[in-house]
Amino acid sequence: MKIGVVTFPGSLDDRDAQRAARLAGAEAVPLWHGDADLHGVDAVVLPGGFSYGDYLRCGAIARFAPVMTTIVDAANGGMPVLGICNGFQVLCESHLLPGALTRNQHLHFVHRDQPLRIASTRTAWTNAYDDGQVITVPVKNGEGCYVADDKTLDMLEAENRVVAYYVGNPNGSQRDIAGITNERGNVVGIMPHPEHAVEDLCGPGTDGLGFFTSLVGGRAASDQSRLEATALQR
């Protein structure tokens, strides 16, 4: 499996996301924001950090990058897409996910190891976890406060589209929401950083690796099922 990782001007965590993809058993493919070609990847990660134009509103300009036009079309066609931190902001600005990320309620940058409760394991990026499982991954943001109108929040919870909740809200996100998914379950946005929790040597442990092994394992299982079905037809 090939997982593309997009680099925007200002991206900080693109190399970390590439390493996480490799540790999960995938081939990491660097993608450039100015190149609309996805180079045959099976999935895409929009990494954390920053992107040009964030001074207007986080992700507001990055959503117009040539690569995003292709990613939006691919996501609408079913391609798995994971947006982490700034990538989550870009997904919301691109209207692949509802709501928005605004300045933290306390107006301070927050950086700490953050417990999360996994709330949905039906997505392409979270099926390696158990429902209700508590994991710990780093959080680092100044504009990580998830907001939406009450109708949207009710819909997300009723349809099991909240991927993870904060256990101890670090930024004032409404209803403690740390990440969400689209209706199809192939697009996930998460504000904390699973790519920084994939090795025991660095970070709080390996709890974040499941976001990447979910995709690789799910795809492998799907491929195996197709092979078995083909064999039965012969």
CA distance 169 to 116: 10
Cα R_g (the chain), whole angstroms: 17
Q: Which residues are catalytic?
A: 85, 193, 195
Which pLDDT band holds residue 102 (cuts at 50, 70, 90)? very high
The pLDDT tens digits for 112-155 are: 999 999 999 999 999 999 999 999 999 998 889 999 999 999 99
Other CB atoms closer than 10 Å to residue 196's CB: what's the count?
Answer: 22
**Dist. CA 85–CA 49, nearest whole Å:** 7
For residue 88, which of 53, 135, 137, 51 has the smallest C-alpha distance? 51
Q: Tokens 């180079």 label which residue?
A: 39
- CATH number of the domain within which 92 lies: 3.40.50.880
Distance, CA of 90 to CA of 191 (rounded, Å): 11
What is the domain extent for residue 154?
2-233
Predicted confidence band at 224 (pLDDT cuts at 50, 70, 90)? very low
Token pair listed for 196? 């920084």
Q: What backbone phi and psi angles, to 5 degrees, belong to 4?
A: -85, 140
Domains of the chain: total: 1
Question: For residue 54, what pLDDT is reported?
Answer: 63
- Are the C-beta atoms of residues 208 and 137 closer than 8 Å to each other? yes
CA-to-CA distance for 88 and 96, rounded, in angstroms?
Answer: 10
**Is the confidence at residue 24, as pLDDT, over 80?**
yes
pLDDT at 216 over 80: yes
Cβ–Cβ < 8 Å for 7, 30:
yes
This prediction has a pTM of: 0.91
